[in-house]
Chain A
């Protein structure tokens, strides 16, 4: 079916996307909860900032990541000096780019499902002796689970397809940051690679379609068929 080099590309893409989504989940859920449940000055700015990667040219997002997380960037320099962690030109950098690009989709799905949780249920839990934290863990979190699943899988699908910010920030290094879309782009630069491109494109379609169908199935299953992602 797949050649060894194709499998290596898919494996790298999956690794990058999984890492991106796992690390982004708590951040995305916290932001979603903040936007759904709190009113504070500057909320519109936070909301817009979270959604920025959705509308900004990905190459600009990648360039901003380079400025911030590059070796001379404010955070990148600190990470390298303190922990010896370098993100640029590494698969972790590709994961960071994918995470930033997936964040808006994840926050949107989670925010909707948190807003759908009736606050009166949280009030009821409080009167029954639950403090804020227990009320959150036993009521808000489980009732917003469909949105968490939907957000995670949608974000995963978005990560698999991430191109612009990745190639700008993490570059196009075989085995390190050359994920599926970057591999297709690289093949397209070489004449006579129609078959290689087609094979990779088919894999991309199957992966993305599978992720979308998986998210719909997960959400339907966890809500008994009452909610949809797609």
Chain B
């Protein structure tokens, strides 16, 4: 099974319960903002500890409250595209792209540096610092950085938002290609129903 996830997390007044059991290569999480979509991704990435539950992706257990398994984020092998991108401001675009490239113990990246650069249209940006990039450019670099880190699975938090329609279309096509050609499980968070419907039949709703 690609995904066997059950997360229970109380955050403030909000109780977040997410259950995903699917053989689908790509599952989507939708829901209104504030419903805990990003919290669920942070739990899967190991940045937040769930109160209880288990997380198994691609047959590999990352967290199990009963078995006392809780891998640190660096051992989970996730390629996480954050909603706020989080490029390293003191590093060039190229250094950002290469930051996770040397990750030990994981499979090779689904794309080479050259392929990622041409797919995402980054060739003219490689020597620039993030503070000189536009919002769409920052997002594309963040996607490239996650792909080039040799991830075992991808967490994409609204990857096509804040992009112009043409670039958004390119990104979604690229995600379709990743889904069809590579064996990387993908969790896709979006509020856009049409976008989600195009990518997968397996949709989980949070809150609301």
Contacts and interface: CB of A to CB of B under 8 A. Distances in A.
Q: Are A and B bound to each other?
A: yes
Interface of A: 118, 120-121, 123-131, 138-139, 142-143
Nearest to B99: A128
A213 B25 CA distance: 59
Contacts of A130: 74, 99-100
Contacts of A138: 88, 99
Interface stretch (B77-85, B114-122, B163-171, B184-192): B77-85
A129 B104 contact: yes
Interface residues of B, number: 26
A131 B74 contact: yes
Interface string B88-111: 111000000001101110100000
Interface string B32-47: 0000000000000111
B74 A121 contact: no
Given A120-B82, A130-B74, A131-B72, A125 B104 contact: no
B73 interface: yes
A123 B47 contact: yes
Contacts of A129: 74, 77, 100, 102-104, 106, 149
Nearest to B149: A128
A124 B103 contact: no
Contacts of B102: 129
A152 to B, nearest CB: 19
B86 A120 contact: yes
Contact of B73 (A118, A126, A143): A126
A138 B95 CA distance: 11
B84 to A, nearest CB: 7
Given A129-B74, A129-B100, A129-B149, A124 B90 contact: no
A131 B99 CA distance: 13
A121 B106 CA distance: 22
Contacts of B46: 126-127
Contacts of B104: 129
B139 interface: no
